[in-house]
Amino acid sequence: MEKPVRSIVIVGGGTAGWITAGRIAAEHQHDSAQAVQVTLVESPTIGIIGVGEGTWPTMRNTLMKLGVSETDFFRECNASFKQGAKFAKWVNGADDDFYYHPLMLPQGFQKGDLSSAWQREGSAQSFSEAVCYQEAVCEHGLSPKLITTPEFASLANYAYHLDAGKFAAFLQKHCTTKLGVKHVLADVTRVVAAESGDIAAVEVERAESNGSDQIAGDLFVDCTGFSSLLLGKHFEVPFVDRSDVLFIDRAIAVQVPYADDDSPIASHTISTGQEAGWIWDIGLSNRRGVGYVYSSRHTTETEAESTLRNYVGDEFSELSPRKIPITSGHRELFWKNNCVAVGLSAGFLEPLEASALVLVELSAEMIAEQLPACRSVMDITAKRFNETFLYRWDRIVDFLKLHYILSEREEPFWVDNRKPESIPDSLQALMSLWKFRAPGDHDFTSNNEVFPAASYQYVLYGMGFKTNMNWRSASDAERMFAQEQFALNERAVRQALDTLPSNRELISKIKQYGFAAI
């Protein structure tokens, strides 16, 4: 039990496998006898899902921790900037129905709440437009920084859109050449159990070998995707189905070329509500990634494909749609014995708000930074990991559901989403509180929150929710503070529109000149 944890075996590649491998290797990389060896075993025959193209701002920190150049990342992964999400036709389905969830906090958010003043004044501006200059930046297709801004620094907070396949290959190259990760191309044929119940090794068959051999390890990370080969199949950890809350269970995805090399690149994810789900539209530097996620209980595959065809236009007939089944939910536990699941093997929800990749990042971060020193303390780390991520999955489910319950659309999909029996009790309790006061940090007391209170404000007030503040009057100081912050935001809008280049222009400059190194 006192055996040191020195050998980490990651089964499965893709973004989840390589981010995890890189974070562990970078955190524990040194040339002493106590160095940790990371081995990634990847099947040469099983491809990656490859549609996780939206990230959170946390990805900037992840790339920095890996020691990656942001310039190289843009050049090799067809990356572009993401500054938030635009939700179109989620409230009533009209052509002018949209709101933003930007990636910046409302103006002065740490000092006071502007939502009350915004509602009292009955502003003609949307909530995000009134409190955050990033909506204007996105609406004008502008970037979040200048070519003279150093790598990973920003003027406006940002995340990325990226080509998932190219990103996995980029990470593979970096991890194997710079971080010492050992890459084994082989199919896992059997899991070898130790007497203790732990995994002792995985048995593999390599393409270049006639026989099989075993790869032993102290900790195994399951990144085998939906198959969940280690945690799900070997340890038989049950799957918790959350489709009673989130109805999306199918996706059709296509890659849409730009009309020409100078076509604008959206600086945000566009999510457009449809009869039985919603369509994502993600602008990379070389193409768009577009997909329809929908509920098979509320439409047919033929109707769904027709919906996506209407959105994409005539060029749809020349594209190759990919069809992806989705089972919303997660494992009952994520770390059992000496095995921890990361990515799709841990669970999956509809790709709203880019929650899949951020859970990979958060999982990899916790494993790397809290890697148990020896087997005797691993169960303590595992308990902490399970508690943390069960909480995070629950909060993500709540936040995604929030996007549906305020809709006024009358199609059966949207009506069913508003039924109380499909809304978690935890979310219903918060909605009751928010009838009388705005979401604030006091509503989220855990340090493991995924979405801040500001994110709830953007969605609530973007969708027309009203908080009744008549039970208390605003002080003169509060009114003065609000007016100052609204004025500061108007000034920030003007400065941003005068200063920032277009998304396309900056990305072209990155590829030509590169950013200044940190």
Res 472 pLDDT > 80 = no
Rounded Cα–Cα distance for residues 427 and 450 (Å): 15
* pLDDT score for 120: 84
**What's the angle, vertex CA 138, arms to CA 457 and CA 494, rounded to 5?**
95
Task: Supply φ then ψ for residue 320, to 5 degrees.
Answer: -115, 95
Residue 233 lies inside a defined structural domain of this protein: yes
Same domain (yes/no): 180, 206: yes
Domain boundary among 266, 293, 325: 325
Kindly state whether residues 237 and 259 are assigned to the same domain: no
Helical spans, DSSP H, in 223-354: 301-312
Q: Which of 294, 325, 356 is the last residue of a domain?
A: 325
* Domain identity same for 91 and 157: yes
Residue 470: what pLDDT?
76
Q: How distant, in Å, are the alpha carbons of 91, 279, 362 from that of 293?
A: 17, 6, 25
pTM score of the predicted model: 0.95
Summarised one tens digit per residue, pLDDT across range 157-184 is 999 999 999 999 999 999 999 999 999 9
The total of structural domains in the chain comes to: 3
Q: What pLDDT, on the 0 to 100 scale, is given for residue 516?
A: 78
Which pLDDT score is estimated for 195? 95
Mapping DSSP onto H, E and C, the string for 333-354 reads CCEECCEEECHHHCEECCCHHH
Among 306, 325, 344, which residue terminates a domain?
325
Least Cα distance to 283 among 85, 422, 12 occurs for 85
How many whole angstroms separate alpha carbon 423 and alpha carbon 326? 20
Q: Alpha-carbon distance 351 to 153, whole Å?
A: 27
| Residue 175 within a domain | yes
CA pair distance 18, 364, nearest whole angstrom: 10
- Per-residue pLDDT band at 123 (split at 50, 70, 90): confident
User: Which residues are within 8 A (CB) of 491 and not within 5 positions of it... i.e. 6 or more apart?
Assistant: none
Q: Are residues 121 and 219 in the same domain?
A: no
Contact between 131 and 144 under an 8 Å Cβ cutoff? The reply is no
Instruction: With a cut of 70, say whether residue 258 has pLDDT above it.
Output: yes
Residue 337: per-residue pLDDT? 98
Same domain, 338 and 236: yes
pLDDT at 25 over 70: yes
Lowest mean pLDDT, pick from 116-130, 202-216, 249-263, 274-288: 202-216
Contact by Cβ (8 Å): 358, 15:
no
Per the prediction, the chain carries an average pLDDT of 94
Q: Are residues 309 and 369 in the same domain?
A: no
Same domain, 361 and 312: no
pLDDT at 366: 98
Digit-coded pLDDT (tens) for 273-297: 999 999 999 999 999 999 999 999 9
With 90 as the cut, is the pLDDT of residue 185 above it? yes
**Residue 293 forms part of a structural domain:** yes
Q: Is 518 in contact with 146 (CB distance < 8 Å)? A: no
Q: Alpha carbon of 85 to those of 166, 267, 270: distances in Å?
A: 23, 9, 6
Same domain, 103 and 155: yes
Query: What is the Cα–Cα distance from 504 to 161, expressed in whole angstroms?
Result: 13
**Residues 149 and 179 occupy one common structural domain:** no
For residues 173 and 213, membership in a common domain is answered with yes
- Residue 234's contacts (CB-CB under 8 Å, 6 or more residues apart) are 191, 193, 199, 339
- Within a domain: 404: no
The residues assigned a catalytic role are 82
Q: Evaluate whether residue 173 is within a structural domain.
A: yes
Q: How far is CA 162 from the centre of its chain?
A: 12
Same-domain pairing of 238 and 345: yes
> Per-residue pLDDT for 30 more than 70?
no
Could you tell me the pLDDT band of residue 392, with boundaries at 50, 70 and 90? very high
Query: pLDDT-based confidence at 402, cuts 50/70/90?
Result: very high
Residue 440 included in any domain: yes
Q: Does the residue 332 lie in any domain?
A: yes
Mean pLDDT of 495-505: 97
Predicted confidence band at 398 (pLDDT cuts at 50, 70, 90)?
very high
Element containing residue 172 per DSSP (H, E)? helix 164-178
Are residues 218 and 334 located together in one domain of the fold? Answer: yes
Q: Which CATH number fits the domain that encloses residue 332?
A: 3.50.50.60
Reported as a pLDDT band with limits 50, 70 and 90, residue 52 is low
The range of the structural domain enclosing residue 459 comes to 80-161+424-499
Return d(Cα 378, Cα 193) in angstroms, integer: 17
Residue 75 inside a domain? The answer is: no
